[in-house]
Amino acid sequence: MIDDQRVLIIVPAWNEAASIADVVTEITGELPGTDVLVVDDGSTDDTGRLASDAGAIVVRLPYNLGVGGAMRLGYRYAKARGYDAAVQVDADGQHDPRYVPKLLDRLQDASLVIGARFAGEGDYQTRGPRRWAMTVLSFVLSRMAGHRLTDTTSGFRACDRSLIELFAEWYPVEYLGDTVETTVRVLRLGYQVKQVPVAMRPRFSGTPSKSPVKAMLYLARAFFALGLAVTRR
């Protein structure tokens, strides 16, 4: 419990055996009042067992669905167990759990709170197509929200009970659908979306991609996802 709220930390994890135990241990250490749910997204390594040994509740998908699929399962779990708030935290250690109480605080005047890079805190930088994509995404979504949202593709986000119920029924599996499309839909439905500046850390394991081809592909897919999201209904 945090402030009389039952909070579930949802960690979608696919083959994160190198970092998952540290991530779970850190979350339970920093946030003793919360439950940690690791959604093992069809990992072929030891992710599930390591998470369970570290003290997390583990649900295991029989095959890989992607972040969106893992998250809907997490929200279904949260809905079934009656949690008041859910926070998504990545399994690679980029998200610092010490920001979680700040995200939860903002839930008092918003239904969805995004932990945003580029908002003053930290020194996260991107360049090239990836940056253009993020600029356009944040421009469009800021206009929809009526205030500035600097980082719409952040997977570090908290939501309240009403959105847990929505996301348990509806959560896209498509690439970027889990971040961009959900934000668009939530804004369209009239919920408040706020952001809290956060500093991202380097990953505990793995390396971010730097290939220019991948960056261009990211740009194309981001615009595709955004274009579809804003023209729906």
Give the pair of three-digit tokens for residue 228.
């579809």
- Report, in Å, the least distance between residue 193 CB and other proteins: 25
49 lies in the binding site for other proteins (CB under 8 A): no
- Report, in Å, the least distance between residue 58 CB and other proteins: 7
Give the pair of three-digit tokens for residue 128.
């090239």
Residues 1-20 touching other proteins, rule: CB under 8 A, are 6
Q: Which of 15, 46, 49, 57 binds other proteins (CB under 8 A)?
A: 57
Side-chain half-sphere exposure of 52, counting CA atoms within 13 A: 8
44 lies in the binding site for other proteins (CB under 8 A): no
69 lies in the binding site for other proteins (CB under 8 A): yes
3-state helix, strand, coil in the chain (%, to 5): 45, 15, 40
62 lies in the binding site for other proteins (CB under 8 A): yes
- Report, in Å, the least distance between residue 63 CB and other proteins: 6
Measured CA to CA, the distance from residue 35 to residue 27 in angstroms comes to 9
Measured CA to CA, the distance from residue 178 to residue 110 in angstroms comes to 19
Residues 112-171 touching other proteins, rule: CB under 8 A, are none
Total residues contacting other proteins (rule CB under 8 A)? 20
Q: Which is nearer to other proteins, 35 or 151 (CB)?
A: 35
213 lies in the binding site for other proteins (CB under 8 A): no
Q: Which of 11, 50, 58, 110 binds other proteins (CB under 8 A)?
A: 58
Query: Do 218 and 126 meet the contact criterion of CB atoms below 8 Å apart?
Result: no
Q: Which is nearer to other proteins, 150 or 182 (CB)?
A: 182
- Residue 84 in 3-state DSSP? coil
Give the pair of three-digit tokens for residue 170.
């509806």
Going by C-alpha positions, the residue among 98, 28, 21 that lies closest to residue 40 is 21
Query: Residue 136: in which H helix or E strand, if any?
Result: helix 128-145
Which residues lie near other proteins (CB under 8 A)?
6, 35, 39, 57-63, 65, 69, 72-73, 76-77, 80-82, 173
